[in-house]
């Protein structure tokens, strides 16, 4: 099986390494014919090229592995690869979540595989295990820690009692966070992964821009202190539930009991859980990012194709986003009197616990209150 790799950055470079140093006969069946790079000085040998047309027009290349990241040109390249009859493996959650309908429809029409294990949960075999459960029964819900950067920041804040800005800087120093960390700390990255997980678990498409999304940018030590006092820690979770007539998706910080399994997922690890009838809750924890773990996941998709186990893309239906369950929220806001009607317990002059309500209702109230720097978190029942 001859493949092309688009991009030779963190993930693309890892894939090249794993395949070039192949240890198993199965992996040795995969040959990298071309690597697309951005700048001509990266063209180290005849295998490297800056011209995507060379890949597109090569009939020997049956699989394109996209590791460029971002929306364009990744989207156009993936689309063209599918149009020209090549299977696609991608690590690009953002591009795939945004263009899911177009790309899955195209792959299905062409009877091609569009595989994306590497785009959610890094090395964790998340997509594969969901599909395995579904051979037997529906996955009814999922939740988890989908972003390693924010989890590193939260773990540091808890362990070392430091403020958000300090921990963000340390994450940036270690290369976990980018210069503009918005996608990691405001929940955008989690949101894309939640949409792809919902697509896999429920067969329903959701527009990422319509998902309720709350991050950790305005988290303060005061919030962590309250969590600790109450035997809890704070994690940024992505949550999906299959509901009658649609689905509910949420991205938000949650105050988890310290004894819960996800509370122990430290450092920059991810921890993802499924819920299904006979299996109950199944949890998968591992490296959620990084060159080799993410490359491992992409190579697993390639191995499925090499084994003839690639599946034609499914036919996802547009999903109706519903409000989700009523729950208790922790809220810290400069305008707490505005929330008097939904307050169950006043914690301080700024912090409160709400009555049971939906995240949508609370989000609407927050918009009306005008506070752009409020911090909210779900308070988990167990």
- Is 134 a residue that touches its own copies (CB under 8 A)? yes
- Is 278 a residue that touches its own copies (CB under 8 A)? yes
14 or 253, CB closer to its own copies?
14
d(CA 209, CA 191): 9
Candidates 283, 335, 346, 348: give the one binding its own copies (CB under 8 A): 283
Candidates 60, 83, 102, 137: give the one binding its own copies (CB under 8 A): 137
Is position 193 annotated as part of the catalytic site? yes
- Is 26 a residue that touches its own copies (CB under 8 A)? yes
Cβ–Cβ under 8 Å, residues 380 and 218: no
- Is 174 a residue that touches its own copies (CB under 8 A)? no
Stretch that binds its own copies, among 46-54, 224-232, 290-298, 335-343 (CB under 8 A): 290-298
Phi, psi (5° rounding) for residue 43? -80, 90
Out of 86, 93, 193, 235, pick the active-site residue: 193
Binding mask 243-262 toward its own copies (x if CB under 8 A, else -) reads ----------------xxx-
- Collect all residues with Cβ–Cβ distance below 8 Å to 273 and sequence separation of at least 6: 142, 143, 144, 261, 262, 281, 282, 283, 284
Candidates 69, 123, 253, 319: give the one binding its own copies (CB under 8 A): 123
**Angstrom distances, CA of residue 145 to CA of 30, 97, 187, 290:** 32, 18, 11, 16
Binding mask 138-157 toward its own copies (x if CB under 8 A, else -) reads x-------------------
Phi, psi (5° rounding) for residue 342? -115, 10
- Is 237 a residue that touches its own copies (CB under 8 A)? no
Shortest CB 279 distance to its own copies, Å: 5
d(CA 253, CA 250): 10
Candidates 62, 129, 328, 369: give the one binding its own copies (CB under 8 A): 129
Stretch that binds its own copies, among 20-28, 107-115, 206-214, 353-361 (CB under 8 A): 20-28
User: Which of 351, 355, 346 is closest to 371 using CA atoms?
Assistant: 351
Cβ–Cβ under 8 Å, residues 3 and 61: yes
E strand intervals along 232-340:
232-243, 246-257, 269-276, 280-287, 317-318, 329-332
Phi, psi (5° rounding) for residue 262? -65, -25
The residues of the shown chain that bind its own copies, judged by CB under 8 A, are: 14, 18, 23-24, 26-27, 123-125, 128-129, 132, 134-138, 259-261, 263-266, 277-287, 292-293, 295-296, 299-300, 303, 307, 309
The residues that are catalytic are 193
């Amino acid at each position: 099986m001859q493949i092309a790799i688009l991009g030779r950055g963190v993930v693309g470079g890892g894939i090249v390494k794993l395949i070039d140093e192949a240890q198993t006969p199965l992996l040795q069946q995969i040959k990298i014919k071309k690597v697309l790079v951005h700048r001509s000085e990266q063209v180290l040998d005849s295998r490297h090229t800056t011209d995507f047309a060379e890949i597109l027009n090569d009939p020997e290349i049956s699989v394109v592995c996209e590791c460029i990241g971002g929306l364009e040109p990744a989207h156009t390249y993936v689309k063209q690869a599918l149009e020209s009859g090549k299977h696609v493996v991608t690590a690009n959650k953002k591009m795939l979540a945004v263009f899911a309908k177009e790309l899955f429809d195209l792959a299905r029409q062409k009877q091609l595989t569009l595989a994306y294990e590497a785009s959610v949960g890094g090395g964790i075999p998340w997509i594969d295990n969901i599909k395995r459960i579904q051979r037997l029964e529906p996955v009814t819900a999922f939740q988890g820690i989908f972003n390693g950067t924010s989890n590193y920041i939260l773990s540091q804040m808890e362990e070392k009692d430091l403020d958000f800005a300090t921990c963000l800087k340390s994450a940036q120093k270690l290369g976990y966070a980018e210069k503009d960390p918005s996608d990691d700390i405001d929940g955008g990255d989690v949101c894309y992964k939640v949409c792809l997980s919902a697509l896999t678990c429920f067969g329903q498409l959701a527009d990422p821009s319509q998902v309720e999304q709350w991050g950790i940018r305005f988290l303060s030590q005061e919030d962590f202190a309250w969590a600790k006092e109450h035997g809890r820690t704070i994690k940024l979770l992505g949550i999906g539930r299959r509901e009658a007539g649609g689905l509910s998706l949420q991205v938000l910080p949650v105050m988890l009991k310290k004894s819960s399994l996800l509370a122990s997922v430290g450092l920059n690890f991810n921890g993802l859980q499924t819920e299904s009838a006979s299996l109950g809750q199944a949890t998968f924890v591992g490296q959620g990012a990084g060159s080799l773990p993410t490359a491992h996941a992409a190579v697993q998709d390639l191995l499925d194709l090499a084994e003839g186990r690639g599946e034609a893309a499914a036919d996802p239906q547009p999903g109706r986003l519903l409000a989700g369950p009523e729950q208790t929220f922790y809220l810290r806001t400069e305008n707490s009197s505005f929330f008097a009607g939904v307050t169950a317990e006043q914690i301080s002059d700024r912090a409160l616990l709400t009555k049971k309500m939906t995240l949508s209702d609370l989000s609407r109230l927050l918009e009306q209150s005008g506070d752009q720097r409020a911090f909210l978190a779900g308070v988990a029942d167990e």
